[in-house]
Amino acid sequence: MNDVIHNPLLAGFNPDPSICQAGDDYYLATSTFEWYPGVQIHHSRDLANWELVTRPLSRASQLDMRGNPDSCGIWAPCLSYADGLFWLVYTDMKRYEGNFKDGHNYLVTAPHIEGPWSDPVYLNSSGFDPSLFHDSDGRKWLINLQWDYRQREGRDRFGGIVLQEYDLELRRLVGAITTIFTGTELKLTEGPHLYRRNGWYYLLVAEGGTGYQHAVTMARSKTLTGPYQVHPNNPLLTSQHDPENPLQRAGHADLVDSPEGHSSEGHGSEGNSSEGNSYLVHLCGRPLPGTRLSPLGRETAIQRVEWGADGWLRLANGGNTPALKVAVSGVTQKPLAQEDHYDFETDTLPAAFQWLRTPYPERLFSLTERPGYLRLFGRESVGSWFEQALVARRQDSIYCSAETTLEFEPEDIQQFAGLIAYYNRFKFHYLAMTLNDTGDKVLSVISCLDDWPNGNLEIADASVRLAPGTTIRLGLDIHARELRFRYAQGGEEWQPIGPALDAGLLSDEGSGRAHGYFTGNFLGMAAHDISGRGTPADFQAFCYRRAPLSETR
């Protein structure tokens, strides 16, 4: 056993971690934003090795994000286990630009992590990042950021953390709404979690915004409603003053105990002072070397923490900056496979893949109409906020490649399908098969180079005519900031197509000139038919390869 966990714990777009323990099992929920189904939940027995087990928001009665803008949808879910049930609260954000935020908070429950998950109970719409606290007396409390739409000098619009009781019988919030914490000088106070330990209520929040000033703040009080005293060494965690640290943007955290002890049960159990380690899971970003561009998005990392004699929590390695390696006794962390190959031989989509927004995937794709193939039905244009046939998986290494085999018979220039690297409607690179003006089947490289808010396209002068009736293999290679497409007809050798493209644009930060976002880059298959005829495209397989571990750590 190597007794070390290498960060990040969950590579690629997996932000806003919430962790809970049920017996010997650990479950970690992360945000999925506009990608469907909603909320990723991973399982582990040792805190080092994690497996995706479910995305619980998988039907229209739970979640419909058609029309949600980019980087809206599922924000900051909170997962807890109490009373023999799993409890999941989440925000469905419908708008986040400007002074207003239209986000609705819901609760679903399940007897088992795999489900069945209930239809949602509506909670409130006062702000985002809801968290459910199970107190030791059996009462349950919802806390969330309250949004203040007003613009006032010296104040941000993060109006404070509010608390209200949840009534189990009435299945709604009841009683007074109380502001329990208004934050520190770091500002932008969000992502709250409450815990109870040794007679104290501990409040963990994210502050500083989710960029390079992000941080974790802790406060405590003898009473649930406060006042809360801020940690004397605040912030508990940040990368702000350590620009050379590979883990940047550290913040938005949650607590859990190790298997050796139960010194601080998360989300509401009364703790004690027994032996054992506690761990902090938090989001982070790994920018491309020499840049502040994070195409892998915000990922999840873990840090070992210790409770001091003064009752405050601190990082076990000292200071407040995240560690790339964390000592955990008795574990061996398995590296990610160098290759993930998908043959589409079953009638269910492989777990790694998601699609965008709609709860009706049968309108987008089928795995049964042509067995052994993923058939995509061409829908709205690339970047549509409603219904586009785009099935993709996360990029989780800055050195990687993707390949697929395509059979497609477009009838005109309005029908195109192929291999795509997609961040959102303003940031993508697309190797697409279509027809040209003379009716020849061609490959084209289509990009949107972070052109917010216009979304204008760049079409590379690199079209390649294809032989009729030939199966086409499509590939891409990403080496840090450079992305290149390639293709092969039939059994021929791979050929490059188009210019070297900027993979750094496919990041939260993008060009730095335009707009902030919160997701990460996806690689996948797409079919678009803006004529409305739904022309199908068949993909025989998809292969994703990572560079060897030594190149990425």
Q: What are the counts of helices (DSSP H) followed by strands (DSSP E) for the chain? A: 1, 41
Spatial separation of the C-alpha atoms in residues 351 and 335, rounded to whole Å: 19
Spatial separation of the C-alpha atoms in residues 398 and 396, rounded to whole Å: 7
**Residue of 16, 70, 265, 451 with catalytic role:** 16
- Closest listed residue to residue 189, CA positions, set 233, 153, 232, 155: 155
Spatial separation of the C-alpha atoms in residues 456 and 439, rounded to whole Å: 25
- Closest listed residue to residue 552, CA positions, set 237, 213, 351, 299: 299
Spatial separation of the C-alpha atoms in residues 352 and 393, rounded to whole Å: 6
Q: Which helix (H) or strand (E) holds 549?
A: helix 549-552
**Residue of 34, 92, 129, 190 with catalytic role:** 190
309 token code pair: 């004699």
CA atoms within 13 A of residue 353's CA, in its CB half-sphere: 24
Question: Which residues does residue 217 pair with via DSSP β-bridges, in sequence order?
Answer: 205
Where do we find the tokens 């900027």? 502
Which residue type does 270 have?
E
Q: Which helix (H) or strand (E) holds 552?
A: helix 549-552
Burial class from Cβ neighbours inside 10 Å (0-12, 13-18, 19+) for residue 121 reads: middle
Q: Is 437 a catalytic residue?
A: no
Supply the DSSP symbol for 503: G
Q: Is 16 a catalytic residue?
A: yes
60 token code pair: 């229209």
Contact criterion met (CB below 8 Å) for 183 and 158:
yes
Q: What is the CA radius of gyration of the chain?
A: 24
DSSP string, 347-406: SS--TT-BEES-S-GGGTEESSSSTTSEEEEPBS-TT-SS--EEEEEE---SEEEEEEEE
155 token code pair: 């104040």
Task: Report, as residue numbers or ranges, the catalytic residues.
Answer: 16, 190
